[in-house]
Chains A and B, each alone.
Chain A
């Protein structure tokens, strides 16, 4: 092939020399060689010879680095033609000859080596030659200079090896001591020492082997020796770096039999990437190397992740029966998050167990309970109820069933039925009795609540919950009796509550009740006086006094206004943190009894003004406001909650406050939640996730679920609820986006939220080139916020490059702002 000619300018030798030097300096040796050869053709300058020799040498080294040793040798020889001995990198030249095993040239070159070169100039070549002489090329000893230190050291090494073969370990150490530190055999010495210690001290061996550098000719042997010290999985970690022959030698040294050697090869073949199938098949194939129980257990376990191995399993071990087969399939499906198929296989298991008879009842019940954890709540209860047919004594299932039925009003009858069943089944169980007390309190059957609370106290005399319930049940019953004007029985109930002696506050509570009894039955002025006295002792501020007086009066059906008149005015009082805490405590105390929400709302009405004022002016702690919001949420007092959350949100921009705000603004009706608030909630839900605010996450998540339930129309139809309209024939202009799938809309959502934050209507309108009459659009926006939203959607889609098939003009037309809609004549 014709060589590519380097373009050479015709300006003479000086330019050519410059070009050659430039190529040399920039590492373009091939081109430099051509130029120097051309120069030397005309004139044999010494300098050019030197530079040509340098270029040949660099090319040779480059070729050798890529494993092209024959080419490297030719180039090195070309280099030698242009320079005088001693030649540069002669050791490399010899190493390349060794690499291609050109024995004639090797012998000739080694014969030309001087003792000086071997001992001083080429230490790496000497180390390599040393290894070759010890192993494959002992004949080098005859060629190399006899007067060299290298040969003297080689003789020492031979003595050491002889001593090793004769197992004369003491002699080895003595012999090795003769080698100086800088000997060409120093890595050999370390390796030999390591091999001597390998049996007695693995640690010492490892320390010694670590001293052998990675570029030493002995490093591979050091790695092999190190691998011999490893067992099992540790060996597996390193085995892949070796070749088949090397692995075999390691195996033989470790005493592996034929099967183990084969297993080792298989392990190395998969280079530590073992799929479930490979693991299973290796275990089956090499089971003779394993304990039968272990391999069977392993393969059995593997069937859950590798079900295709079932046939091999049955062929090799006791076959898996039908039940076990289905069980493993079910577990395998669960492993792959395939709940649907898992349920199918578990049900197959149940069918098989039913055929087996009563002994399997517990297993059936457990499977049904297991299934109940994988399905939706409504199905859970059915499965739990079914499980009780097979294992009727399972207390946890009863409690779970009750837990589910207690959540909804529509299942109140079921709750009652199951509570009765559970009490009958577990009459001495405190948890069950506690549920019974709560149910009785909810139903205002205070006598029942008292009975259950007494039962609890009989089992656990220190049970605080039972004591408190008993106390409040006595008082609640007393209020009931007071309403029915059965005054003689009221005193008895109060007395029973008082006899419990569970604290000063409780005693004051009974005194307050006596005041009401006195007011209702015997002596109004005295009653009023007693009420005022007790309330003043119970509360330190007029607001809470007012509130408690009002709620107690409402609960006993006594005239609120008459009683409140006797109390100091509360209108202008600002509640301190402590007083607000007392108010929350009162809310909790009275809300404990269900179905008194109406009375609570009425009582709050009496103190609403000072409460709002306090929230406005006092600098309450965030946690206190959160507790208040929680209670207001519980009693569904949306007005106060709205007030509280709005103020709190202005101070703390946290997801929980956004939730309370939307919750109160919509009166807990997600249907009324505007689209904008929906977006904000979604954003805050994400924020709560990031903040790890689990409470806010759960509350917002639940609200969003309900939002989706109530806005379940496909596409963008739910935008229609953004602003409620009672008109039946109302045509929603945002319906132009109805064709968009929800997925697309979700993509737009974040962008819309961010645009809303940073973009005013004016800026938004200015951003559209298609809009010629900004003022008309802005006026349209002020009249219909949907227009702003529609333009935001178009802008968001535009920014994200999503084709929504709705243009600005479509929006403008749809909202009728393409013509002058201004109500003004200008």
Chain B
């Protein structure tokens, strides 16, 4: 779940003017008649950080969202591009044979 700062694409120390500009830019790109949900998300984000008081309030009472999926995605991300060759195929063929392979192979045969 993105923070309002991330939604509006502004830094945590952005001022009122910068936040308003970012909001207007996002609204222009996502007008309510195109995607109501996205517009609402942007609008809510703006409302929660639009001025000094709302930013302090957000910092005090916002229960931060935890996104474990984001964590898993990043932890299992790899730099190298995915490569698959005959050796990998061979490994998978071998790994694919387990206790169930033989048992299942004929299990649905008609008696």
A301 engages B76 (CB within 8 Å) = no
Let me know if A812 is at the binding interface, CB within 8 A: no
Let me know if B21 is at the binding interface, CB within 8 A: no
CB interface residues, B 50-108, toward A, < 8 Å: 52-53, 56-57, 60-61, 63-80, 82-98, 100-108
Partner of B76, one of A135, A217, A232, A304: A232
Roughly how many angstroms separate A732 CA and B104 CA in the complex, as a whole number?
79
A290 engages B75 (CB within 8 Å) = yes
B60 engages A128 (CB within 8 Å) = no
A260 engages B75 (CB within 8 Å) = yes
Contact indicator per residue, chain A 247-288, by CB within 8 Å of chain B (1) or not (0)? 001001111100010011001000000100001001100100
Let me know if B109 is at the binding interface, CB within 8 A: yes
B73 engages A232 (CB within 8 Å) = yes
Roughly how many angstroms separate A98 CA and B101 CA in the complex, as a whole number?
11
Roughly how many angstroms separate A164 CA and B78 CA in the complex, as a whole number?
26
Let me know if A619 is at the binding interface, CB within 8 A: no
Give the chain B neighbours of A221 by CB distance below 8 A. Answer: 92-93, 95-96
Let me know if A586 is at the binding interface, CB within 8 A: no
Q: A89-B111, A300-B64, A363-B56 are in contact. Are A245 and B95 (CB under 8 A)?
A: yes
Give the chain B neighbours of A294 by CB distance below 8 A. Answer: 70-71, 74
Interface size class of B (residues with CB under 8 A): 35 or more
Give the chain A neighbours of B60 by CB distance below 8 A. Answer: 327, 363, 366-367, 370
Q: Report the minimum CB–CB distance from B99 to chain A (whole Å).
A: 8
Roughly how many angstroms separate A335 CA and B87 CA in the complex, as a whole number?
52
Give the chain B neighbours of A254 by CB distance below 8 A. Answer: 76, 78, 82
Contact indicator per residue, chain A 165-205, by CB within 8 Å of chain B (1) or not (0)? 10100000000000000000000000010010011000000
A302 engages B66 (CB within 8 Å) = yes
Let me know if A425 is at the binding interface, CB within 8 A: no
A220 engages B100 (CB within 8 Å) = yes
Q: Is the interface of A mostly helix, strand, loop or mixed?
A: helix
A131 engages B66 (CB within 8 Å) = no
Q: Report the minimum CB–CB distance from B42 to chain A (whole Å).
A: 21
Q: A301-B64, A331-B63 are in contact. Are A215 and B73 (CB under 8 A)?
A: no
B105 engages A217 (CB within 8 Å) = yes
A225 engages B74 (CB within 8 Å) = no
A263 engages B75 (CB within 8 Å) = yes
Give the chain A neighbours of B107 by CB distance below 8 A. Answer: 65, 215
Q: Is the interface of B mostly helix, strand, loop or mixed?
A: helix
Give the chain B neighbours of A216 by CB distance below 8 A. Answer: 105
Q: A95-B102, A301-B66, A366-B53 are in contact. Are A231 and B86 (CB under 8 A)?
A: no
B76 engages A291 (CB within 8 Å) = no
Give the chain A neighbours of B79 by CB distance below 8 A. Answer: 255
B66 engages A366 (CB within 8 Å) = no
B97 engages A253 (CB within 8 Å) = no
Partner of B64, one of A161, A267, A274, A304: A304
Closest to A200 in B: B84
Let me know if A712 is at the binding interface, CB within 8 A: no
Closest to A57 in B: B111
Q: A91-B106, A246-B95 are in contact. Are A298 and B69 (CB under 8 A)?
A: no
Contact indicator per residue, chain A 213-230, by CB within 8 Å of chain B (1) or not (0)? 001111111111100100
A233 engages B73 (CB within 8 Å) = yes
Roughly how many angstroms separate A218 CA and B101 CA in the complex, as a whole number?
8
Q: Report the minimum CB–CB distance from B98 to chain A (whole Å).
A: 7
A164 engages B83 (CB within 8 Å) = no
Give the chain B neighbours of A253 by CB distance below 8 A. Answer: 84, 88, 91-92
Give the chain A neighbours of B77 by CB distance below 8 A. Answer: 231-232
Partner of A224, one of B71, B74, B92: B92
Give the chain B neighbours of A256 by CB distance below 8 A. Answer: 76, 78
Closest to B68 in A: A279
Closest to B59 in A: A363
Most chain A CB within a 10 A radius of its CB, from B79, B85, B88, B102: B102
Partner of B86, one of A165, A219, A263: A165
CB interface residues, A 140-173, toward B, < 8 Å: 161, 164-165, 167
Closest to B85 in A: A167
Partner of B105, one of A124, A264, A327, A366: A124
Q: Report the minimum CB–CB distance from B59 to chain A (whole Å).
A: 9
Let me know if A109 is at the binding interface, CB within 8 A: no
Partner of B84, one of A67, A127, A165, A228: A228
Give the chain B neighbours of A327 by CB distance below 8 A. Answer: 60
Q: Report the minimum CB–CB distance from B50 to chain A (whole Å).
A: 15
Let me know if A305 is at the binding interface, CB within 8 A: yes
Give the chain A neighbours of B78 by CB distance below 8 A. Answer: 254-256, 260
27 CB-based A-B contacts, threshold 8 Å: A91-B106, A99-B102, A124-B105, A128-B105, A198-B82, A216-B105, A217-B102, A220-B97, A221-B96, A222-B96, A232-B75, A236-B72, A246-B98, A253-B91, A255-B83, A260-B78, A263-B75, A263-B76, A267-B72, A279-B66, A286-B75, A289-B75, A305-B66, A335-B63, A366-B60, A367-B60, A370-B60
Q: Which B residues fall within an 8 A CB radius of A? A: 52-53, 56-57, 60-61, 63-80, 82-98, 100-109, 111
What 7 pairs between A and B have smallest CB-CB spacing? Answer: A221-B96, A232-B73, A301-B64, A289-B75, A128-B105, A220-B96, A164-B86
